[in-house]
Copies of this chain bind each other. A is one copy, B any other.
């Protein structure tokens, strides 16, 4: 291990969470950390990864994500030009298990590695200030503290936890020992905490791998044992490290705050004052977006008349208009519209619960469904037909499959398709079509260098996604 390596920080990005409070833009099939809600150019996950991409400070990052999100994570890292280790959780077991996996993973390369735990869905307004704070906090971590970043409160928030600071830590300039972690307070409690100098708990942690392992051994040995076993028995599949499902399932579901932070005697906090948000509600999204003179934040095709202090987010080609309202949130997507009072935007989570209970598919599934080979999107449906637009990335290859209840017509509108149809393989170019009879074994591949797009017209008595008989699949599905 080089001396340089020893001074570097290993970033670990936690990608869990389905972000239902930002429905309908964020859904289980594309949660908020991967959606481009705050910035049209990149997701908060990509921004998070980019924030720790400086090789003078950080080593190759690790990403801990759900198995379902693996192709989105890989695609978004590739888009951002960032290489990382992707560790897949077979199921979410809360943050202590994820942090334990991070610590075990880091210690394998360097027991004294300093690990920075980050959430994938936070917005930070000043990367330079963030980077400086992380380097300062790393000094505390190297000296043996589990450090947190504590955000200077800008309002008496009741939706964040607080940290009361104690004595100054001589090892890291400006940092303090943690006196106590405080749960989300009521409004009066928040006022009192702020008056006493308490800070918001940002959820960013820095620690030395070996010391976190010791803390876990002391305070949450079951979590640590499960994490170790899950990594030891992990399999490598394409570019992913898949934790062993049986082993990982034995990890108790507990947060790192409960499991370690509130119990350790060596917690430190570095006050930071850069703009920070966990973007937990549409109101919070409105807060972090640029706004016009009337206080409106808009995205997409939007027209407003006599409207103030509102967020209007219009996805796709549609036009979204608002007349004579204040303090509202309007989110229009191609298949679902949300209109909410900004003050009650936290209740969107409850709304999604209702949508799930009533089995509305829009609760969890987006119109555009991402797959390892690209994406598809339903564009029309009728009694005995369905029309989809399909995009296959260069080199992408759908499974070899057949259908019992539908025939398919494919019209290539961009790029070139290699179509396997029973025994034959044909190339289909732009403005050419191919017909796949019911029951025919077929496979679609993009052999070219540009994305392949085609229109699929399905005709038959049943056009559901479950009428796919997969015979072979390069993505292990």
A320 to B340: give the CA distance in the assembly, Å: 11
> CA separation between A335 and B301, bound complex, in Å?
11
User: In the complex, A76 Cα to B320 Cα: how many Å?
Assistant: 30
A305 touches B351 (CB 8 A): yes
Q: Are A384 and B317 interface neighbours, CB within 8 A?
A: no
User: Considering the chains assembled together, what is the distance between the CA atoms of A1 and B78 in angstroms?
Assistant: 85
Do A325 and B341 have beta carbons less than 8 Å apart? yes
* CB-nearest residue of chain B to A321: B338
Answer yes or no: A413 CB below 8 A from chain B CBs.
Answer: yes
Mask, A375-394, CB within 8 Å of B = 1, is: 00001111111010100000
A380-B455 contact, Cβ under 8 Å, with A347-B324, A413-B385 = yes
Task: Across the interface, name the chain B residue whose C-beta is closest to A334.
Answer: B318
A477 at the B interface (CB under 8 A): no
CB nearest neighbor in B for A377: B380
Least distance between A416 CB and chain B CB atoms (Å): 14
Contact with B along A205-233 (1 / 0, CB 8 A): 00000000000000000000000000000
Q: Out of B323, B335, B351, B358, which one reaches A338, CB within 8 Å?
A: B323
* A328, CB-defined interface residue at 8 Å: yes
Bound together, the chains give a CA A325 to CA B453 distance in angstroms of: 41
A339-367 vs B: 1/0 string, CB under 8 Å? 11101110110110011001010100000
Of all chain B residues, the one with the shortest Cβ separation from A310 is: B339
**A337→B320 contact, CB < 8 A:** yes
Contacting B at CB under 8 A, from A364-415, are 379-385, 387, 389, 407, 409, 411, 413-414
Quick one: given A319-B335, A335-B319, are A347 and B305 in contact (CB under 8 Å)?
yes
Contact A323 B345 (CB under 8 A): yes
Q: A317-B381, A379-B387, A385-B413 are in contact. Are A324 and B337 (CB under 8 A)?
A: no
Q: Are B355 and A339 in contact (CB under 8 A)?
A: no
> Does A471 have its Cβ within 8 Å of any Cβ on chain B?
no
Within 8 Å of chain B (Cβ to Cβ): is A192?
Answer: no
Q: Does any Cβ of B come within 8 Å of A199's Cβ?
A: no
Q: Which of A341, A350, A389, A413 has the most CB of B within 10 A?
A: A413
Contact A328 B330 (CB under 8 A): no
A347 B306 Cβ-Cβ under 8 A: yes
Chain A, interface size category, equals 35 or more
Q: How far is the CA of A435 from the CA of B324 in the complex (A)?
A: 49
Most buried by B among A319, A339, A414, A460: A339
Q: Is A69 engaged at the interface, CB distance under 8 Å to the other chain? A: no
- Give A350 to B380 CA distance when docked, in angstroms: 33
Q: How far is the CA of A220 from the CA of B455 in the complex (A)?
A: 60
Does A107 have its Cβ within 8 Å of any Cβ on chain B?
no
Q: How far is the CA of A362 from the CA of B303 in the complex (A)?
A: 12
Distance in angstroms between the alpha carbons of A351 and B455 in the assembled complex: 36
Asked if A324 contacts B303 (CB within 8 A), the reply is no
B435:A413 contact, CB within 8 angstroms: no
Whether the pair B319, A344 counts as a contact (CB closer than 8 A) is no
- A452 interface residue (CB < 8 Å to B): no
Which residue in B339, B351, B380 is a CB contact (below 8 Å) of A339?
Answer: B339
Which residues 295-342 of A have a CB within 8 angstroms of B? 301, 303, 305-306, 314, 317-325, 328, 330, 332, 334-341
CB within 8 A of A414: which of B328, B385, B387, B430?
B385
Residues of B within 8 A of A267 (CB): none
Closest 7 CB pairs of A and B: A324-B344, A385-B413, A323-B340, A324-B341, A431-B459, A379-B380, A411-B457
Pull 27 A–B residue pairs with CB atoms less than 8 Å apart, ordered by A. A317-B381, A318-B336, A319-B335, A321-B337, A321-B355, A322-B340, A323-B341, A325-B341, A330-B337, A330-B339, A332-B332, A379-B380, A379-B387, A380-B380, A382-B414, A384-B430, A385-B413, A385-B453, A387-B455, A409-B433, A411-B459, A413-B459, A431-B459, A433-B433, A433-B457, A455-B455, A457-B457
Question: A residues touching B (Cβ–Cβ < 8 Å)?
Answer: 24, 301, 303, 305-306, 314, 317-325, 328, 330, 332, 334-341, 343-345, 347-348, 350-351, 354-355, 358, 360, 362, 379-385, 387, 389, 407, 409, 411, 413-414, 430-431, 433, 435, 453, 455, 457, 459-460
